[in-house]
Chain A
């Protein structure tokens, strides 16, 4: 659920049974989830699907693919074709052009200038992902391997905040960012001049993403073998060394999948982008919705615009699919 939002994946997280009974799923199982199944040792009789079952799968795959495919075809058809006939007729009278992409990407006046907003999304997503995963990893280590009073209840408190929907926290946070906080004339939080800046969007995404990051990373890190870490501590290694030399390298699967998940979540976010970015710094998804609302007569351009906004998350997912599935499950393992 990309759909969704970090909070979303959270609770589920409460352990699928496979996982709750044993250690981390071994790599075969996890890789197999997406269909590396051929190599699995399951007996043939148990896995052969019936003809009816195969038909259901193919029908669903067809329904799940055809709307996106239609949009892709429409996006490379000339304006008058898009406006007078359905995309399927492109296969009877083939006429294709890249003009729509040209039109939405160019920076000439009156154009949507999507390339500008495309880079906005990059500027927003990359640092926000790095910072939320980085800060989350440090906190995850502190919750998993440092001994201090109150860490149990503080962890529970942080995880409980997963229930807070974006909608509930975003406005007061916006006020804080755009004006600081004051009691009478006494300033308890300074005005940081972040109005409508990319930094404001970062802060929002990091704050909203942190509980999920901390939850996943703490769970993963506490499953690392105790012997190794305690041996290093006994040998005199400080927390700094243990964290960077041991825990971070061992947590790469969880860090990678969390980063992919956060990347897709932040890139695909609409609400924060609409509210925080202002006109110039809004991400491409927010611009896409704005374009969709105003285009009316030129909706042939909307097809190309939608596709430009999808390219990056699709590439990220397909290039890193393996890590994505693996880490999601690893995190899901320990609730």
Chain B
């Protein structure tokens, strides 16, 4: 224990020194002439942040793009070869399709679940408790979520998990759907007579997306709830007086009113799904055809040590994020014009 306190004392001491240094610098600006004084003060306030962001984020990102045009030892310029490899190989095409499944399936269901909870729990008895329970998975790590679900999906040789138990309880379910209670959900790519080809996402990828939906729905619920509470009562009452049913009120009044929030949440979720890495590594490690772009970057770069190819994956990730963000901006503006 004493080393823990020692560590904290050191940390506090370090931060005190940092604060004192900044305070001292600020004090020194008093001795600067006229307009330089204000500039010096700005530098003290904004300097540390800009320095860290420039050195720790901007320069590294530029460097990664540069490395992605070079071979795996980093010595030779190879043009677009690394990107070519990502888009041409069969195995790599599966990875792109998998990430696509994550983004589309994950985002769609997170928005649906979030809206359902926010709509139906609104005004329900125990609202706070239900919403908190939905949020629990969002508070724990994605790696932890992966491990929780590893137990749910467990099959032979381990003791069966909940998924197999439930499937076994359904009368007449064929073995290929888990009816015998011995399906290995994280390995098996097939469902019933559906055998996805090697370059298409399998059932196990969908099972991983379920984990993501489970983990991401909590934050969506918080945002949607706040937006729904913000719809003016007058609007809703007016629609009710005109004879609209609750369903009509939701689809014709509430949903259009909160559309900007829906777009915003869809964007956050899509970005999260694109960066999915923790869940994959904690469950399948990217084996059995479940790898995604973010996971493949980790595997290629750190396990295989292929610098150029790995950098190309991370640059691709950034490239794919840009349209998502731009689309969000556009939709956001349109929603604001409407409302």
A interface residues with partner B (beta carbon < 8 Å): 1-5, 7-21, 25, 29-30, 32-38, 40-43, 45-50, 53-54, 56-58, 60-61, 63-68, 70-71, 74, 82-86, 88, 119, 122-123, 126-127, 130-131, 135-136, 138-139, 141-143, 146-148, 154, 158, 161, 163-173, 176, 189, 203-204, 206-208, 210-211, 214, 238-240, 243, 264, 267-271, 274-275, 285, 288-289, 292-293, 299, 302-303, 306, 309-310, 313-314, 316-318, 321, 325, 328-329, 332, 335
User: For the complex, is B329 an interface residue (Cβ under 8 Å from A)?
Assistant: yes
User: For the complex, is B272 an interface residue (Cβ under 8 Å from A)?
Assistant: yes
State which of B50, B227, B246, B265 has its C-beta within 8 Å of the C-beta of A139: B50
Distance from B113 Cβ to chain A, minimum over Cβ atoms (Å): 6
Using known A-B contacts A46-B233, A285-B143, determine if residue A61 contacts B318 with beta carbons closer than 8 Å. Answer: no
In contact, A40 and B229 (Cβ under 8 angstroms):
yes
Residue picked from A11, A36, A243, A267, most chain B C-beta under 10 Å: A11
In contact, A210 and B49 (Cβ under 8 angstroms):
yes
- Interface members, chain B 53-73 (any A CB < 8 Å): 53, 55-61, 63-64, 67
In contact, B161 and A86 (Cβ under 8 angstroms):
yes
State which of B160, B216, B325 has its C-beta within 8 Å of the C-beta of A3: B216
* A264 contact set on B, CB distance < 8 A: 139
Distance from A204 Cβ to chain B, minimum over Cβ atoms (Å): 7
Using known A-B contacts A5-B272, A57-B121, A163-B318, determine if residue A16 contacts B133 with beta carbons closer than 8 Å. Answer: no
Nearest residue (CB) in B for A325 is B222
Using known A-B contacts A15-B260, A270-B143, determine if residue A164 contacts B57 with beta carbons closer than 8 Å. Answer: yes
Using known A-B contacts A138-B49, A317-B139, determine if residue A148 contacts B278 with beta carbons closer than 8 Å. Answer: no
State which of A64, A204, A328 has its C-beta within 8 Å of the C-beta of B136: A64
User: For the complex, is B315 an interface residue (Cβ under 8 Å from A)?
Assistant: yes
- Interface members, chain B 279-300 (any A CB < 8 Å): 281-282, 285, 294, 297-298
In contact, A14 and B264 (Cβ under 8 angstroms):
yes
* B127 contact set on A, CB distance < 8 A: 35, 37-38
Q: Which of B38-46, B84-92, B185-193 contacts A (4 or more CB under 8 A)?
A: B38-46
Distance from B8 Cβ to chain A, minimum over Cβ atoms (Å): 8
In contact, B56 and A163 (Cβ under 8 angstroms):
no
In contact, B230 and A207 (Cβ under 8 angstroms):
no
* B42 contact set on A, CB distance < 8 A: 142, 146, 148
Using known A-B contacts A148-B39, A240-B26, A271-B298, determine if residue A126 contacts B60 with beta carbons closer than 8 Å. Answer: no
Chain B count of residues within 8 A CB distance of the other chain: 130
* A56 contact set on B, CB distance < 8 A: 116, 120
Using known A-B contacts A67-B162, A141-B45, A310-B144, determine if residue A61 contacts B134 with beta carbons closer than 8 Å. Answer: yes
Using known A-B contacts A2-B138, A146-B41, determine if residue A12 contacts B57 with beta carbons closer than 8 Å. Answer: no
* B176 contact set on A, CB distance < 8 A: none
Known: A64-B133, A167-B294. 9 other contacts (CB 8 A): A4-B271, A14-B329, A33-B226, A33-B229, A46-B240, A60-B116, A146-B45, A165-B314, A169-B60
State which of B130, B159, B237, B278 has its C-beta within 8 Å of the C-beta of A270: B278
In contact, A8 and B53 (Cβ under 8 angstroms):
no
Instruction: Give the docked Cα–Cα distance between A84 and B230 (Å).
Output: 51
* A53 contact set on B, CB distance < 8 A: 119-120, 124
Nearest residue (CB) in A for B219 is A1
Instruction: Give the docked Cα–Cα distance between A170 and B271 (Å).
Output: 18
Instruction: Give the docked Cα–Cα distance between A46 and B122 (Å).
Output: 9
Instruction: Give the docked Cα–Cα distance between A30 and B222 (Å).
Output: 10
User: For the complex, is B99 an interface residue (Cβ under 8 Å from A)?
Assistant: no
In contact, A83 and B159 (Cβ under 8 angstroms):
yes
Map CB proximity to A onto B1-15 as digits: 1 under 8 Å, 0 otherwise: 000100110010011
User: For the complex, is B335 an interface residue (Cβ under 8 Å from A)?
Assistant: yes
In contact, A165 and B317 (Cβ under 8 angstroms):
yes
In contact, A9 and B268 (Cβ under 8 angstroms):
yes
Instruction: Give the docked Cα–Cα distance between A329 and B265 (Å).
Output: 13
Distance from A307 Cβ to chain B, minimum over Cβ atoms (Å): 9
Distance from A320 Cβ to chain B, minimum over Cβ atoms (Å): 11
State which of B237, B268, B269 has its C-beta within 8 Å of the C-beta of A43: B237
In contact, A123 and B264 (Cβ under 8 angstroms):
no
In contact, A167 and B317 (Cβ under 8 angstroms):
yes
Instruction: Give the docked Cα–Cα distance between A183 and B316 (Å).
Output: 28
User: For the complex, is B199 an interface residue (Cβ under 8 Å from A)?
Assistant: no
In contact, B56 and A169 (Cβ under 8 angstroms):
yes
User: For the complex, is B267 an interface residue (Cβ under 8 Å from A)?
Assistant: yes
In contact, A34 and B128 (Cβ under 8 angstroms):
yes
In contact, B233 and A41 (Cβ under 8 angstroms):
yes
Instruction: Give the docked Cα–Cα distance between A143 and B46 (Å).
Output: 8
In contact, B134 and A60 (Cβ under 8 angstroms):
yes
Distance from B250 Cβ to chain A, minimum over Cβ atoms (Å): 10
* A211 contact set on B, CB distance < 8 A: 53, 57
Distance from B74 Cβ to chain A, minimum over Cβ atoms (Å): 11
Nearest residue (CB) in B for A123 is B7
In contact, B15 and A130 (Cβ under 8 angstroms):
yes
State which of A130, A141, A168 has its C-beta within 8 Å of the C-beta of B318: A168
